[in-house]
Amino acid sequence: MKIAYFTYDNEKLFEIRVKRLESIEDEYVINDVPQMKEEYIEFLSNMGEEIFVLLPYNDGEDFYLKYFNHLEYFTEGDNNFRIGSLVSHTVGREDEENHYVKMFQEVYRTGEKKSGIVKYMNDDGKLLKYLDFRVFRMGDAVVTINEDKTEVKRYRDNTLNDEKLGVAILQGGKFVELNENYARYVHKTRDQMLGSEYSLNGMSPEARERVKKEIKLLSQQKKVSYKVPLTSYNDDGSIRFFLNAEGSYITYDNRPAVLIKIKDLTQQEIAKNRIESSRDSKTQLKDSFESLAKHSKTIISYGIYPDKFVVSDNFYDVIEDESRSFPFNTQTVREFMLGEDLQLYDSMIDSLSPVNSEVEFTTSIMTLKLNIRYIRHYIKRIYDSKGNAQGYVSSHQDITEEAAYANALKKQIIEKNEIIKNKDVQIKEAHHNIKNSLNILLSLIRMEEHTHIPLKEIIDDTKSHLKSVSVMHEKIYQSENLADIELKGYIDSIVESLFDIYSSKIQYISKVDDIKLNSKQAKSLGLIINELINNTVKYAFPDGTQGKVEIRIGRIDKKIEVEYRDSGVGIPDSVDFDNPTSLGLTVIHNLTKQIDGEIGYTYDDGACIKIVFTERESF
């Protein structure tokens, strides 16, 4: 988890990483913490804000907890925080530059209050908590108060930024939040309305009373939501906006509130009025060209010679007009275009001439329900013998599904090309791994040739090495990206295969975490485990006694920690682990150096070998 501190002006102060601690060592806990009075504890535990009371330690060089009330989302019930624990070994444990403790030191020594915003984020940057923080000195203590503003932040970032709506939040009958659109719809400025009593400036008295009644019911939680059509008027009495208002009960800043959303329906209302005035003439024109529209193969079509036109019924499906009554004229298709599409449409019309009398092109339109559709246009202008334009015909076909399919296909091709490209690199790396693995086996065999090891033992060792490499490449090809290996299955397969080769009855205990490791390091680690198993089988149980082998592998930050234990006789004290003379330990030592690891040995009721190395990125 990342914790970042900012000023109220969004200037970053510092950032620290915090991970869940399994325990706090006793040496970092102060035991004689002064007890707080029961009435104070009861009072603070009922506060909604997070409250931490810290006392100075070592003359203010560090601080320890005297009291805290809320932290469930961070501690998850574990003992990350404990009364008396030092700040430097809880939240400040991963703070390498000590920013967190320095903030408390400055407040304690100067008495100056610190305040701003603190953001809790996961490692992917997703916001978990958004808090107001205040840090101040109170007597000998330093107090931190964190007020949860996560819900407020989300409303501001999402709902209030909706460009299509006017949005406001009422709390206690007053505006605590609103956007510019809302202020514009009620004929005021945002600054005028923030903190003011609720009003519907520009609305009729009847509409005002109805909405106030609805809001009162919401505030009392007697209703969940409402919808009301409204009309906003200018000072001279003319209509300013046709609106639809929606209200709903919400919690905002952990308190009851009312969320109001206003949608502008002015254009739709104007269109409806135009429909009524043009209905008769439109019907006559449509009847005149009925047969053409009926047999049209295009989604939208019309012809003009020069002042008559027809539109097919499919036109209303395209623009999503359920009433099927949107007024149609020579500019109607153009009216549904925006921005660059409108510029393209106009430029193509302007390009028509007697020598270039037809054009074909594609634009997008925005429907009445604010959806995007793609239209293929064909326009032909008709000229007389003198080059004068007499009229034109045009057709407009909805190709949204074809465009969506083409875009999806293009995206798939790009993604597949990228996959093929990555696979090529991974296959080359896999071939390189095979070559390196065979070279390592050849080197091991050559080393054994120069020793006095019996031939059968050399053959058994070679079989075990081959099995390790075989298991590794099997796991590589089973992996998703040919670059990483699931470590648990890989190590377990090697151990079980070797015990099978040697017909060993040794008990195997696997405590390997679910870790993906790059194939290069996994290969070396597999050969190390191979040699350790060989040594255990050959030397750990000289009298044929039965025993066990336990392997632990885990990741801490970017470090891989390996612990190999057997319950055998251990390695003789005469063996120098840093400068080994035996073949097996030499191989283990050299392979550990290959992965830049460190190796150590102790005797703990048997051999205990620990290896630590830094994890590398794949490829």
- pLDDT of 464 strictly over 70: no
Higher pLDDT, 402 or 59: 59
Residue 74 scores a pLDDT above 60: no
pLDDT confidence of 113, banded at 50, 70, 90? very high
pLDDT at position 122 is 84
With H, G, I as helix, E, B as strand and everything else as coil, classify residue 312.
coil
User: How far, in Å, CA of 533 to CA of 494, rounded?
Assistant: 9
**How many other C-beta atoms are found inside a 10 Å radius of the C-beta of residue 494?**
25
> Average of pLDDT values for 363-390?
84
Residue 374 confidence (pLDDT) above 70:
yes
Q: Which pLDDT belongs to residue 458?
A: 61
612: how many CB neighbours lie within 10 A of its CB? 15
Domains of the chain listed by start with CATH number: 2-148 (3.30.450.20), 153-264 (3.30.450.20), 276-398 (3.30.450.20), 437-614 (3.30.565.10)
pLDDT per residue over 228-276, tens digit each? 887 777 777 777 777 888 888 888 777 888 888 888 887 777 766 665 5
For the chain, percent of residues with pLDDT exceeding 90: 16
CA angle 480, 483, 485 (to 5 degrees): 75
| Nearest in space to 218 (alpha carbons), one of 175, 184, 171 | 171
Query: Mean pLDDT in the chain?
Result: 79
What does pTM read for this prediction?
0.38
Which residue has better confidence, 578 or 350? 350
Whole-number percent of the chain with pLDDT over 70: 79
* Out of 72-76, 396-400, 463-467, 547-551, least confident range: 72-76
- 286 exposure class (CB count in 10 Å sphere: 0-12, 13-18, 19+): middle
The secondary element (H helix, E strand) that includes residue 614 is: strand 607-614
What does the pLDDT average to over 170-177?
86
Query: Which pLDDT value is given to residue 52?
Result: 92
pLDDT for 550 equals: 95
Inter-axis angle of helices 487-501 and 519-535, nearest 10: 30
pLDDT per residue as tens digits for the range 265-301: 877 777 666 655 544 444 444 444 444 444 444 555 5
Closest CA to 584 of 479, 473, 461, 493: 461
DSSP 59: T
Query: Directed axis angle between helix 455-478 and helix 519-535, to 10°?
Result: 150
Over 70: is that where the pLDDT of 480 sits? no
Q: Output 558 or 390, whichever has higher pLDDT.
A: 558
Residue 450 has pLDDT above 60, yes or no: no
Range among 23-27, 57-61, 471-475 rated most confident: 57-61
Q: Would the pLDDT of 441 be above 70?
A: no
**C-beta pairs of 110-115 under 8 Å, 24+ apart in sequence:** 111/137, 115/8
Q: What is the pLDDT of residue 72?
A: 62
Return the minimum-mean-pLDDT range out of 93-102, 166-175, 263-272, 465-474.
Answer: 465-474
Q: Does residue 59 have a pLDDT over 60? A: yes
Q: Given a cut of 70, is residue 319 above it in pLDDT?
A: yes
DSSP 87: G
**Distances in whole angstroms, Cα of residue 185 to Cα of each of 263, 265, 379:** 9, 11, 40
Instruction: Provide CB contacts within 8 A for 395, sequence distance 6+.
Output: 296, 298, 300, 301, 377, 378
318: left (phi over 0), alpha (psi -120 to 50) or beta: alpha
For position 166, what pLDDT does the model report? 85
